[in-house]
Amino acid sequence: MDIIQDLLKKYFGYDHFRPTQKEIIDHVLNRKDCLVLMPTGGGKSLCYQLPSLMSNGLTLVISPLISLMKDQVDALKANGIPAEYINSTLNPLEIQSVQNNIMDRKIKILYIAPERLALIYFQNFLSSLSIDLIAIDEAHCISEWGHDFRPEYRNLKGLRKLFPNVPIIALTATATELVREDIIRNLHLKDSQTFISSFDRKNLTYYVQPKTKDLYALLDLLERYKRESVIIYCHSRKDTEYLVNDLKFKGFHALPYHAGLSDDVRKSTQDQFIQNEISIICATIAFGMGIDKPDIRLVVHDTLPKSLEGYYQETGRAGRDGQPSQCVLFYSYGDKKRHEYFINQMEENLVRENALKKLNKVIDFCKLQSCRRRYILDYFGEHYSKEHCGSCDRCLQDVFDGTLITQKILSAVIRTGNRYGAGYITDILLGSKSKKIFENHHESLSVYGIVDDFSKEELHQIIQSLVDRKQLIKENDDYPTLRISESGLLLLKSRSQISLPKPKKLVSLMKERKTIDQNYGISYQQECDKELFERLKDLRRKLADQKGVPPFVIFHDSTLYELAYYYPHTHSSFRRISGVGSTKLNDYGEIFINCIKEYCIENNLSERDMDLNKFQRETPITETNLITKDYILKKYSISKIAEMRKLSESTIYGHIERLIQMDNELDIEYLKPTDEVFQKIQTVFKKLGYSLKPVYDDLGGEYTFNELRLVRLFL
């Protein structure tokens, strides 16, 4: 019997694992150390939460995000998993109560902050317990080479001494090769395996814009997201306060969130955001936000991030429920100078040089003329085979014949002596009446006022494209000026044709983004009954208020989208929806089913036949899947492949399922059971649907879950 698959549905409500989750869980259950790199929203927590259900002892989770712990514990309890946390938000009596429950073996998972490990009394308490697994979240914080080093993580270096025989799973969303090695060394991981999921967040679209009149551009953008959850990252505490005041004045519901606020104020702000009472949070990039909110639709960087790791992690807060979401970065030369000022205060040469290198990578990303997704993935060591991703501003932009406007810009730079910046050049071309132009007698130049088909903002974008293409060179760091390059001079003289990205306003570009693109596909969100979805959201909100938990602890939006598509009328069909486990079925099934039935009667609708693969999104084939594919092509048996790869047979079946999903031409005919067995199992699948547990039960456990999975592949 495949207990792991059964637990996945029973407690978490899912029928399938995400890429690499099953391999990681098998590895952990074999009591081996491992390092897991998985993007935000990729399902890292399941890799230690599910194994905890198969052990007798305690799973200890160490996380720096105190503000996240309650949400995670609430979500586990809602799934029927006994969990608690101990941190500075609890008083001594509350801590003692939790410790008593742990000693009475009433708790399976305990969350703590790394600071607590420095307390000798707490070390002694942990040493008295039966701990089966230690999970370290945000593991990159232990490395001084990481983007978010935290001194308190040094406390973790003694874990191996305290618990020499307890397996450790270290998890992070962002770590370069150097940081990975640092994590393994500092945590003393023994014979560990590193699991790397794809860093590609396909549901996210990336946009980068120069910061010109950024408040107006930001307001235009936020108008499109008035009913959605938004995070805006700012440079300083003051910046967050000023921006919040501006947004409030314009009618937006926004609050600041930074380290200068009291714990009570931060908690209140976070609660209001999670409960959808406010839609916008303005936070400093230096302050990590522990917000486990799955339905954030827009993340804006109103300032330059310090590193691509930080940028990737912060944008990763968008669309954790898998629904399409946007990431917008506004950058300016001034932002770069602010970061450089603080970096230059660093005393250690190596640390300072590393910080400058990371900042320069962000600058390169901003100036990029090719696919931004490809650049991010390449930075983390992942090859991206497509030339255009179809979901970043560079790949969404059209090109136009820029020959004439390029001639005008290059001519203006030469005729003004290669000594002015982009702002002055655009003023010349647009025929500005500025005092400086007349003082320099540049109103008499032949290029003065010769452009009437582009705005100032569009000209700035075109000039930046010419700088990126090396036709123009920016000089003088403090007051940058433009100078024509040799290739620019050659282009000007030859009058060669040149294609450039078509300048567009950010909002225009986002409006033209295809709702259904090649990477994402049609989704329940687009096809569901919108009116019913809103009604289910209201019901969820009332239940969340009654229980004092965030709405997503009841059900994620993605579950509501499925409910609003299939209109399930019975407990059996409701349970088949993704995200509905046994506990949630018992707690909320009847309430939601009654709401759906009532709506269907009002609108003369009936329950839809369930095809849970209808909108299944593409999942990447990982390297480990491809190794299994080679063995399949050589016609090895499942047991032989598992033996040779030192993996469980269940994991190999998971690989085959993913391979078939991506390539239904893969020949697995040699694995097919006998006709008698096949027909017997097929009959039950056709009667009960394609979930494994009902079929397993109907057949009285005569066949293993893996045998059932194999037959299902042929159906």
Model pLDDT for residues 158-206, shown as the tens digit of each residue: 888 899 999 999 999 877 788 888 999 999 998 888 998 888 888 899 9
Sheet holding 58-62, edge to edge: 83-86, 109-112, 58-62, 131-136, 168-172, 34-37, 193-196
Find tokens 């596909």 and name the residue: 521
Specify the 3-state DSSP secondary structure of 257: strand
User: What is the spatial distance between Cα 343 and Cα 442, in angstroms, rounded to a whole number?
Assistant: 40
Closest CA to 27 of 125, 139, 170, 153: 170
Instruction: Provide the token pair at 487.
Output: 């290739």
Find tokens 């039966």 and name the residue: 130
- For residues 617-635, b (16+ Cβ closer than 10 Å) or e, as one string? eeeebbebbeebbebbeee
Q: How many CA atoms lie within 13 A of 425 on its CB side?
A: 33
Distance of CA 416 to the CA centre of its chain: 47
Give yes or no for a contact between 254 and 280, defined as CB atoms under 8 angstroms apart.
Answer: yes
The residue type at 675? D
Q: What angle do CA 213, 217, 222 make, to 5 degrees?
A: 145
Q: What is the pLDDT of residue 522?
A: 46
Strand (E) or helix (H) holding 252 = none
User: What is the spatial distance between Cα 617 and Cα 655, in angstroms, rounded to a whole number?
Assistant: 16
Instruction: Provide the token pair at 493.
Output: 């003289």
DSSP 316: T
User: What is the spatial distance between Cα 97 and Cα 186, in angstroms, rounded to a whole number?
Assistant: 33
Specify the 3-state DSSP secondary structure of 392: strand
User: What is the spatial distance between Cα 60 and Cα 132, in angstroms, rounded to a whole number?
Assistant: 8
Distance of CA 533 to the CA centre of its chain: 24
Q: Which of the residues in the chain have pLDDT under 70?
A: 1-2, 146-147, 212-214, 286-291, 477-478, 504-523, 611-623, 661-665, 690-691
- For residues 676-693, b (16+ Cβ closer than 10 Å) or e, as one string? eeeeebeebbeeebbbbb
Q: What is the pLDDT of residue 289?
A: 60
Q: What is the pLDDT of residue 437?
A: 92
User: What is the spatial distance between Cα 22 and Cα 648, in angstroms, rounded to a whole number?
Assistant: 10
59 forms bridges with which residues in the sheet? 109, 133
User: What is the spatial distance between Cα 215 and Cα 211, in angstroms, rounded to a whole number?
Assistant: 9
Where does residue 508 rank: exposed (0-12), middle (13-18), buried (19+ CB within 10 A)?
A: exposed
User: What is the spatial distance between Cα 235 and Cα 464, in angstroms, rounded to a whole number?
Assistant: 24
Q: Could you give the maximum distance between any two Cα atoms of the chain, in Å?
A: 95
DSSP 498: -
Q: What is the pLDDT of residue 594?
A: 95
- For residues 60-84, b (16+ Cβ closer than 10 Å) or e, as one string? bbbbbbbbbbbbbbbbbbbbbbebb
For the chain, give percent helix, strand, coil, nearest 5: 50, 10, 40
User: What is the spatial distance between Cα 423 and Cα 612, in angstroms, rounded to a whole number?
Assistant: 55
Sequence-ordered list of residues with C-beta below 8 angstroms from that of 609, at least 6 positions apart, any chain: none
